[in-house]
Amino acid sequence: MHYLGVDVGSVSVKFALIDQEKNVIDTLYMRNHGVIPTVKKGMAQFREQLPSDIEVSGVGATGSGAGFSKVLIGADVHKTEILAHAIGTLHFVPDVSVIFEIGGEDSKVIFLRNGIITGFEMNRICSGGAGAFLDSLAGRLNIPISDVGHLALERENEVSIASRCTVFATTDAVHKLNSGYRLEDVLMGVCNGLVRNYLAMLYRKVSPPPYTFQGATSRNVALRYALEQQLGAEVIVPPYAACLGAFGAAILALENGTTQTRFKGFQLADFEYQIRSFICQDCENHCEITQILQSGEPIASNGSRCGKRNF
């Protein structure tokens, strides 16, 4: 028996497959190029690399885009990303006190005590404390994003970057490079500024360690270093840190005890889906309704404030 977790974010889609002992069988991290094509691509990749007789007994969905993905895949459980990340982290770090997660376009801090969530802070508005800024800057400087952290740790001098706004930060970084500053020094300044902004926005309630850092940005060793320096403590990067939300969703599916899964199977990679939207004219709200169609028939619909057209 196996359980699948899917975490759909704004920048990436993560998958995790576990067995009934909560051992990780496989994970996938994919850029989000649209929920439908990315989920289909993930299912196709699983189908290629897993044994053909593998049985999925339950599916959990989480993330900001889980509303539609749960219908596409046939999820049995749909939980918040806060809970999914906490469950996934607690499996590897049972005494974790604070979870730091920097996503592509949003970020969060989760507070725990004795394995129980006591609070959280989320930022979905400002990208000054999120990872897409680094991705964009790396692209502008023609540097692979995977090299940014290692280059930044080779810095020789402290450089201050205006980090409160990503527009100003990018301008400031480029200006300093054009003024003769070393690339490594500027990149470390950017990483320090991103972490400083992230903590200023979200980490208002100081808690003792253990701390964990997750999300794809945790692969950036300079961000981890900056986080440790500004917190004054060790920060743990758990296994599968980029996919812990999906891993937590898979655990939640396992613990749900589903007897008959809704999972559509890895063959959904071959299904044809369409998206359509229209303005509901039933009242003065004029809600924009978005629907997913399979073989011309709507299988999911949302956007209705009154709920009349949501299913």
DSSP assignment of 196-237, as one string?
HHHHHHH--S--PSPEEEESGGGG-HHHHHHHHHHHTS-EE-
Distance CA 78, CA 71 (A): 10
Are both 2-86+246-270 and 94-237 of the same fold?
yes
The band of 250, judged by pLDDT with boundaries at 50, 70 and 90, is very high
User: Is the confidence at residue 213, as pLDDT, over 80?
Assistant: yes
Distance CA 6, CA 9 (A): 10
CB neighbours of 125 closer than 8 A, spacing ≥ 6?
none
The band of 182, judged by pLDDT with boundaries at 50, 70 and 90, is very high
Beginning with the edge strand found earlier in the chain, give each strand of the sheet holding 211-214 in spatial order.
116-123, 107-113, 98-102, 211-214, 235-236
Whole-structure pTM value: 0.90
CATH superfamily, domain at 94-237? ATPase, nucleotide binding domain (3.30.420.40)
For residue 39, give the DSSP letter: H
The band of 126, judged by pLDDT with boundaries at 50, 70 and 90, is low
For residue 209, give the DSSP letter: S
Beginning with the edge strand found earlier in the chain, give each strand of the sheet holding 288-294 in spatial order.
273-279, 288-294, 297-302
pLDDT score at 163:
62
Q: 3-state class of 98 per DSSP?
A: strand
Q: What is the mean pLDDT of residues 198-209?
A: 88
Q: What is the mean pLDDT of residues 292-311?
A: 87
CB neighbours of 143 closer than 8 A, spacing ≥ 6?
151, 183
Q: 3-state class of 18 per DSSP?
A: strand
Distance CA 172, CA 70 (A): 42
pLDDT score at 165:
66
The band of 127, judged by pLDDT with boundaries at 50, 70 and 90, is low
The band of 136, judged by pLDDT with boundaries at 50, 70 and 90, is confident
**CATH architecture of the domain with residue range 2-86+246-270:** 2-Layer Sandwich (3.30)
First to last CA, the chain: 29
Position with higher pLDDT, 34 vs 164: 34
Domain positions in the chain: 2-86+246-270, 94-237, 273-302
243 within 8 A of 220, measured Cβ to Cβ: no
Quote the tokens at residue 25: 């069988």
The CA-based diameter of the chain, rounded to the nearest angstrom, is 64
Q: What is the mean pLDDT of residues 109-122?
A: 96
Q: What is the mean pLDDT of residues 250-273?
A: 92
User: Is the confidence at residue 223, as pLDDT, over 80?
Assistant: yes
